[in-house]
Amino acid sequence: MTTNVVIVDDQPLVRLGFRMVLNATDDIRVVGEAGDGATGVRVTQQLTPDVVLMDIRMPGLNGVDATRTICATAATSRVLVLTTFDLDEYAFASLKAGASGFLLKDVRPDELLGAIRAVAAGDAVVSPRITRELLNRHAASLRTAEERADEPDPTAALTPREREVLLEVAAGLTNAEIAQRLVLAEATVKTHVTRILSKLDLRDRVQAVIFTYKHGLPRR
């Protein structure tokens, strides 16, 4: 199957470079481009691509706000944010807005292609460990335990084992590492993760990590 991609970046040469790399493959096709966030939203809504490569710093509507709008109005399109620096101050905001991950703009071609394929398949391309570092840097913006005291248990829909797996995901472990730690088959862990994301209405593992921090769940 072909993965359709829209590129949103205010630099024409950057769009050209990405387009050349993507269109050189058999399974990825660039179906649209935009030079600013507002146009990117319109193009995405019109074309409903599988993946949107989204720059963050653009004139007018920035990539964070464009990502938020796309994730709210184009449910089948996943956003992969492009940043200049590894821990760009806007990366966390993009993840909270619904992005499935972020990449550096100097990413190698094979990494870019792998990331697009992963996101199109419903996975995330940001290591949970990196996500945790981003969250730690912005811990002040998260609610305190006192502010959450009267809220119902956010994991009530999960089984005890699923909750256990969720906490391991939040700790940054891969399925293989979780399987080893909990003495489970890796396929079983994968099934648990899929059910967790479905029950909690989360897009991917990145959003699962954010969920645990947002609700103050225990961390290892």
Q: Dump strand ranges (E) for the chain.
A: 3-8, 28-34, 51-55, 78-83, 102-104
Choose which CATH entry (3.40.50.2300, 3.30.450.40, 3.40.640.10, 3.40.50.1370) describes domain 3-126: 3.40.50.2300
- Report whether 197 contacts 208 (CB < 8 A): yes
Asked if domains 3-126 and 137-214 share a fold, the reply is no
Given a cut of 80, is residue 185 above it in pLDDT? yes
Among 8-12, 41-45, 96-100, 182-186, the least confident range: 96-100
User: In DSSP terms, which residues pair with 78 in a beta bridge?
Assistant: 51
In this structure, what are the phi and psi dihedrals at residue 147, rounded to the nearest 5 degrees?
-70, -20
For residues 126 and 180, which has the higher predicted lDDT (pLDDT)? 180
Q: Domain segments of the chain: what residues?
A: 3-126, 137-214
Given a cut of 90, is residue 22 above it in pLDDT? yes
What pLDDT sits at residue 100?
Answer: 85
For residues 217 and 148, which has the higher predicted lDDT (pLDDT)? 217
Tell me the average pLDDT across 28-42: 96
Q: Which two tokens stand for residue 44?
A: 């995405």
Residues 6+ apart with CB under 8 A from 27: 1, 2, 3, 117
Given a cut of 60, is residue 11 above it in pLDDT? yes
Q: Using 50, 70 and 90 to split pLDDT, how confident is the model at 219?
A: low
Mean pLDDT estimate for the chain: 85
What pLDDT sits at residue 63?
Answer: 93
Choose which CATH entry (1.10.10.10, 3.40.50.2020, 3.30.43.10, 1.20.870.10) describes domain 137-214: 1.10.10.10
